């Protein structure tokens, strides 16, 4: 188990724990002395590199206001993969790797505040580091939008009224596409809020913040998102 974070000196750090280790220890990523973007909000995402992966892990972090760096952990070593230029360093990164087929996906907010989603086939070497852009885009995002990807849906934040928008998604490599129109969560959230979303039985649960010292839960039917929304504040 690994935890990736950015410390108060803007260094990208790793803490790891496993069945044979006692507690948490510094991970091998620390030896690379990676420095992140010096911002109040910094894009960062680590996720498994494939749905059947047990050790490979992909990592993206903002190195400046418009650039992300991609690293891959495999065979007990972190290796640089590529730079992603032209993306808001204050925005989050989306990742999805446990769907059908040998595909994984990554999403960024570009400097025009538009969502881009890219796909990679683990059996292909097309494109830089095997990445290819899908035709899926969403306009008018908050420049610091977080995002949450999972099996049938993804969630992003738009600039207008800082609303969260939910899109039904078919993940299918180059043929990935949004199904129907997006649905917005009616409550206004904090601009740049972290977004977490997960399915629970037949319900979609979305967690975000409205003021910065709160946790808000928005929920709706998983197969009929937005009809209706239920809201509750989670005590912290």
State residue 221's pLDDT score. 84
State residue 124's pLDDT score. 60
Which residues face 173 on adjacent strands? none
State residue 201's pLDDT score. 87
Give domain limits for the chain.
36-234
> What CATH number should be reported for the domain whose range is 36-234?
2.120.10.70
State residue 129's pLDDT score. 67
State residue 127's pLDDT score. 47
> What residues in the chain have per-residue pLDDT under 50?
127-128
Global pTM value: 0.92
State residue 87's pLDDT score. 98
State residue 20's pLDDT score. 65
């Amino acid at each position: 188990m690994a935890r990736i974070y950015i410390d108060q000196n803007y260094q990208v750090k790793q803490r790891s724990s496993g069945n044979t280790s006692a507690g948490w220890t510094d991970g091998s990523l620390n030896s690379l002395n990676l420095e992140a973007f010096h911002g109040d909000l910094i894009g960062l995402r680590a996720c498994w590199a494939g749905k059947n992966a047990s050790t490979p892990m992909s990592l993206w972090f903002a190195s400046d206001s418009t650039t992300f760096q991609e690293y891959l952990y495999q065979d007990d070593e972190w290796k640089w993969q590529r730079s992603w230029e032209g993306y808001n360093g204050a925005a989050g990164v989306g990742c999805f790797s446990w769907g059908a087929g040998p595909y994984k996906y990554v999403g960024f907010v570009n400097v025009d505040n538009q969502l881009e989603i890219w796909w990679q086939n683990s059996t292909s070497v097309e494109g830089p580091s095997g990445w290819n852009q899908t035709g899926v885009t969403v306009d008018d995002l908050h420049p610091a939008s977080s995002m949450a990807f999972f099996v049938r849906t993804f969630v992003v934040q738009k600039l207008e009224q800082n609303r969260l928008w939910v899109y039904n998604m078919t993940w299918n490599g180059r043929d990935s596409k949004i199904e129907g129109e997006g649905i917005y969560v009616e409550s206004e959230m904090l601009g740049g809020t972290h977004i977490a979303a997960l399915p629970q039985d037949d319900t979609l649960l979305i967690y975000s913040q409205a003021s910065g010292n709160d946790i808000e839960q928005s929920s709706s039917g998983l197969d009929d998102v937005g009809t209706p929304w239920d809201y509750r504040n989670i005590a912290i």
